[in-house]
Amino acid sequence: MLTLGIDIGSTTSKAVILEEGKHILSASLAVAGIGTNGPEIVLREAMEKAKVQEKDISHTVVTGYGRNTYKAADARISELTCHAIGGSFVFPEMRTLIDIGGQDAKVLSVDENGMMQNFVMNDKCAAGTGRFLDVMAGILHLDINDLSKIAAQSRKPVSISSTCTVFAESEVISQLATGADLPDLVAGICASVAGKVAVLAKRLGVKEKVFMSGGVAQNTYVRETMGKILGVQVYYSPQSQTLGALGAALYAYSKSNHIKQGVN
Ligand code: ADP
């Protein structure tokens, strides 16, 4: 049986096709989120990669900020649940999940069955989210994927004192004008995100092992800085950004199995 999970995020759409609730046949991602044709693009790509057609898919679950905009789904569930399920599938020792996406950050405590027990989130302020990194990369004319390796060259990260993205933007521009070293500036930007999310994590309480999902998890400098602040190792998987879609595909499998057995 094949199931499909689609995650329509604020910046990026993702899709995962799963076989028998175990094998990931394909995963696809497009930097086109809510309000775009991103969901159609990732669905087409995922089906091409898996060499399957829509009629082969038994059950589709959609998640993410834009989940209510996608009509052709059997169910819609929250991304908190999906990240908990997807994270536990790839990293069963996970007890705390830190998800930093394009417009919010969430910290979840998860039990040994992958069930979310509690969570905290920041969805009010762009600082401490991927949006902050996107804005700063834009100002510095850098690719988001290069921030971590530039930051790694820093000897003395600049301290970004503004707690608001708009003020931090002016702060970064004035640091540039006064000749701040680029790696120090980029390290300061990454550390600022890490620091804000670490405060959120401390509010919930951090139980090991700690795992990261969402696009920002790919930034090693953010991960390691957060790990240092929290005094733990922060693990991640190269699939971090598609974990929500994976969780949705896993949920779709459990749901369709229940339906088959008449439990519903
Ligand atoms: P959403 O679901 O809200 O679209 P995602 O979890 O897909 O969020 O993450 C999108 C965010 O991840 C964007 O802000 C993007 O800049 C960031 N991102 C993507 N790749 C990287 C990377 N290599 N390093 C840091 N951030 C990244």
Q: What is the pLDDT of residues 138-158, one digit of tens each?
A: 999 999 999 999 999 999 999
CB of 157 within 6 A of ligand 1: the answer is: no
Closest ligand 1 atom to 14 CA: 7
Cβ(12) to ligand 1 under 6 A? yes
Contact 165 CB / ligand 1 (< 6 Å):
no
147 CA: nearest ligand 1 atom: 24
pTM of the model: 0.94
Length of the chain: 264
Query: Among 97, 197, 241, which residue has the most ligand 1 atoms within 8 Å of its CB, making it the best to mutate?
Result: 241
The amino acid present at 220, given as its one-letter code, is T
Structure confidence at residue 165 as a pLDDT band (50, 70, 90): confident
Q: Is 102 in the pocket of ligand 1 (CB under 6 A)?
A: yes
Tell me the sheet residues that pair with 119: 108
Cβ neighbours of 257 (radius 10 Å) = 16
Residue 79 CA: nearest ligand 1 atom is 2
Count Cβ atoms within 10 A of the Cβ of residue 107 and give its class: 0-12 exposed, 13-18 middle, 19 or more buried.
buried
- Tell me the pLDDT tens digit for each residue of 58-94: 999 999 999 999 988 999 999 999 999 999 999 999 9
Span from the CA of 238 to the centroid of ligand 1 (angstroms): 13
Q: b/e string for 138-173 if b means 16 or more Cβ within 10 A? A: eebebebeebbebbeebeebbebeeeebeebbebbe
What order of strands is seen across the sheet that includes strand 13-19?
23-30, 13-19, 2-8, 57-63, 75-76
Task: Quote the CA–CA distance of 80 and 247 in Å, as a whole number.
Answer: 10
3-class secondary structure, 62: strand
